[in-house]
Amino acid sequence: MALSAPTNLAVQVLETLLPVAQTTERQVDAGPLVTLEQWTGGANPPQALFIVEQQTESHHVAGPLIPLDQGVYLYYPPATLVTFDQATIYRVNNVAQTLATISQTAEAHRSARSLVRARQTVQTASRAAQPRTLVYLDGADVTAQTARAMSITASEGDNRTASIALMLPPGPVNVTAYQGRGVEIVRLINGAPVPLFTGSVDRPVYDHQARRLRLECSDLRSERLNGEDAAQIQAMTGGLYSPITQREDVSGADYVAELMKTVAGTLDYGGDGGLRYRSWAAGPPRYTLTDADVHHQGVRLEFATRSEIINTITGTLEYRYYQRNDFSESITVQVEQNAYGLPASQVVDPETAVIGRTGRVSGTKVAQILPTKEALLSAANGVENWELLDFEFIELPANGWYRANAGSSPVAYSASQVVRETRAMGASAELVRYVSQPKRERYQLTISAPESVDQFGEVRGSSFRHAVETRVDPSVFEERGCAVIADPDDRRTDVDRAIQCLQRIAEREILKGHRQNYVELVYKADLLPVEIGDTIGVNTAPISAVGNVAELSHTLTREGDYYTTLKLAVSRVDSAVSVSENWALPAAPARWVLNPDSQVLPETPSCPLPTATLGTNAGQSRIEPDGTVVMTAPSIGRGKIDEIIGTRVHRYDIAIPTNPFNITVT
């Protein structure tokens, strides 16, 4: 039999393991078994009643009972384990008969194949004595004290651990002093050192019967992430963070955890202790394993569970801020004038006024009193919710003679200086109003994987809802002289970042469910120098696949065996649907409607229903005959005061990576 590869096994001569001896204690010859005698008392002569005969059917010569062979596969010297002696006390010979009939039918024919491969390594004594796995404790080489059996394990987003055992000499030992000490494990592969583990002793365990100290070690991933630079990790992973969509006020490992929610990848410490990020997207395989590399009995397959797959996530992001609405109104009031353009001495009482068909007003005449300037100014300043921007009195006519027309007789008009200083015919006022109107942008987002929907139907995950509020006090917009920027929303950048984070969080959740197909295998040639996230190809007779390392385990046994167990994550979806991704931010809402909650509120004079329109209603501003001045501004509808909502509906499509995963029944 040809040896495929050296194994370090020593070959020993086969020896007898169990000698079995047989001896015959005694032999019983055939003879009379029973003798019967009859006594008749003398009346009749004796005669035979029946005859018993014995016949020997067959005779077997004592011989070997069980042949045993011994095969030595390990280093243990052969020795006698059990000696069997056989003593035949008696033997009953029965006629041979057929107990069972076995018939064989050939259903199928398979070609012969190799079932077992033996490896033999012939080394010099010095080479055989050199260890290939080196262990360092705080930089000191403790390989000679370390038991051969050890293990190293790692998985995505978790601590890398190692378990080693130190053989202690007689004497006192301080077990707790080992806690926290640095541990390095290095493997010589093809003559080159490959670091397998770099970390610290997490927990020492002493076995007093075996006189061994087991060191359970860890790379302390979470603890070390607390000390990493946040900006460096963000640059390494490309992750995004928003306090709107993720936990607020986080740092260290908690910040990294929030950051990793937005990337489809894994962040771990390697065997050399360095921090490394690997995307879930499968790249060119670092290794491609064949039948010669993989233990054929160590292959296990696991496929995603339908109930754990999601392909659609919906949610809403709302952004509320305030916009400044500016309103202005010009109001002019003055007393009625006669045909000469002078203040009329009498006017129709408004309470008795009647408007005729021709538009002429008739009614009881009452005296008209000129308003005071103080009353005019007070009325302009007293318009509710409005501010006086400009004001001007309409002064009394100059003293002199006035004609109604060219042919009329002139009339004289005269007013003292005191009257002119205290009274006026009317006034003109410019009023302004600033309203901070709340605006709510509502983004209804859907992130979906069309390929998965085609295969499984729509499977919705947990929806999300987030809200953003402006930091600007709305009252500042209602102050005169406030400088208002063209776009009054102050957190547009935060909103855009929040939408990007929501896109990525949903993408990661959808992709994660589709990569829960696993190929678990055992690499038997040596310890395979791989890291979490590496792309590995498998090309064996029954399986052809490409996936990322999700878990790994390096194992060394006390018998000298060593192997690496890998668990590869394979992303899969079976659909012919074509998907084109576009992650552009949605446009701002273009259509605005009044918040439905505002429409159910009762109407009040200061807050009419939205049907009221902005306009001038000059008939409401007037000077009464007794000199009372009334100035009013037009009403403003709720559509300019209450909250308005604009909605934008947007959909994003995700393409599911499909990695090779082929199975052949052999």
Kindly report, residue by residue over 370-429, the tens digit of the pLDDT. Answer: 999 999 999 999 998 899 999 999 999 999 999 988 888 899 999 999 999 999 999 999
pLDDT band at 205 (very low <50, low <70, confident <90, very high): very high
Q: Which of 561, 557, 552, 556 is nearest to 529 (CA)?
A: 552
pLDDT surpasses 80 at 481: no
* Separation between Cα atoms, residue 87 and residue 89, nearest integer Å: 6
Q: Residue 361 — φ and ψ, nearest 5°?
A: -95, 130
Residue 225 has a CB neighbour count (10 Å cut-off) of 19
pLDDT interval class at 583 (50, 70, 90): very high
Residue 611 above 90 pLDDT?
no
Contact at 8 Å (CB) between 40 and 32?
no
Considering only 117-121, 159-163, 356-360, 473-477, which range has the smallest mean pLDDT? 117-121
pLDDT at 183 over 90: yes
The whole-number average pLDDT for the span 16-23 is 59
285-306 per-residue burial string, b: 16 or more CB within 10 A, e: under 16 = eebebeeebbeeeeeeeeebee
User: How do strand 517-523 and strand 300-302 relate by DSSP bridges?
Assistant: antiparallel
Look at residue 544 in the predicted model and tell me its pLDDT: 95
- CB count within 10 Å of CB 528 equals 23
Residue 37: pLDDT over 90: no
Under DSSP, the state recorded for 627 is: S
* Model confidence band, residue 131 (pLDDT cutoffs 50, 70, 90): confident
Tell me the domains of the chain and their CATH numbers.
129-219 (2.30.300.10), 227-279 (no CATH), 312-322+436-512+588-594+646-653 (no CATH)
Contact between residue 649 and residue 590 where contact means Cβ atoms under 8 Å apart: no
pLDDT at 396: 95
Which range is least confidently modeled, 159-173, 411-425, 542-556, 594-608? 594-608
> In the predicted model, is pLDDT for residue 2 greater than 70?
no
Whether the Cβ atoms of residue 245 and residue 466 lie closer than 8 Å to each other: yes
CB of 11 closer than 8 Å to CB of 120 = yes
Query: Is the predicted pLDDT of residue 486 greater than 70, yes or no?
Result: no
User: How does 323-337 read in b/e, with b if 16+ C-beta sit within 10 Å?
Assistant: bbbebebebebbbee
∠ CA 188-136-126, rounded to 5°: 45
Report the pLDDT value the prediction gives residue 326, as an integer from 0 to 100. 87
Average pLDDT, the chain: 84
The overall longest dimension of the chain from CA atoms, in Å, is: 203
Tell me what pLDDT residue 613 has.
38
Q: Are 250 and 242 in contact (CB under 8 A)?
A: no
Model confidence band, residue 95 (pLDDT cutoffs 50, 70, 90): low
- Is the model's pLDDT at 514 over the cut of 70? yes
Which has the higher per-residue pLDDT, 93 or 304?
304
Residue 55 in this model has a pLDDT that exceeds 50: yes
pTM of the model: 0.70
What is the rounded average pLDDT of the residues 246-254?
93
176 pLDDT above the threshold of 70: yes
HEC string for 81-93: CCCEEEEECCCCC
Bridge partners for 400 per DSSP: 413
Per-residue pLDDT, 62: 58
In the 8-state DSSP scheme, what is residue 175?
G
Give the pLDDT score at 232. 95
> What does the pLDDT read at residue 496?
96
DSSP, res 474: G
Handedness of CA 129, 130, 134, 139 (dihedral sign): positive
DSSP conformational letter for 510: H
Q: Are 283 and 535 in contact (CB under 8 A)?
A: yes
Rounded to a whole number of angstroms, the CA Rg of the chain reads 51
594 three-class SS: strand
Pairing of the two strands 150-155 and 543-556: antiparallel
**What pLDDT does residue 434 have?**
87
Residue 496 phi, psi (nearest 5) = -60, -40
Quick one: how far is CA 30 from the chain centroid?
A: 90
Is the Cβ–Cβ distance between 595 and 610 less than 8 Å? no
The DSSP element (H or E) to which 454 belongs, if any, is helix 450-456
Q: Residue 157: is it exposed, middle or buried by C-beta count within 10 angstroms (0-12/13-18/19+)?
A: middle
Q: Which two tokens stand for residue 648?
A: 């934008």
Q: Tell me the average pLDDT across 509-532.
A: 96
First-last CA distance in the chain: 25
Q: Give the pairing type, strands 426-448 and 644-653.
A: parallel
Strands 354-355 and 387-394 come out as unpaired
Structure tokens at 418: 């005191």
Nearest to 635 by CA among 657, 651, 613, 620: 613
In the predicted structure, residue 88 carries a pLDDT above the cut 60: no
Residues 475-496 have a mean pLDDT of: 70
Q: Residue 409 and residue 215: Cα distance in Å, rounded?
A: 125
pLDDT category of residue 202 using cuts at 50, 70 and 90: very high
Tokens of 626: 């007794």
Number of H helices, E strands in the chain: 9, 32
Q: Are 640 and 435 in contact (CB under 8 A)?
A: yes
Instruction: Give the residue, 413 or 76, on which the prediction is more confident.
Output: 413
Among 181-195, 372-386, 432-446, 483-497, the minimum mean pLDDT is found in 483-497
415 close to 620: Cβ distance less than 8 angstroms = no
Provide the pLDDT for residue 324. Answer: 83
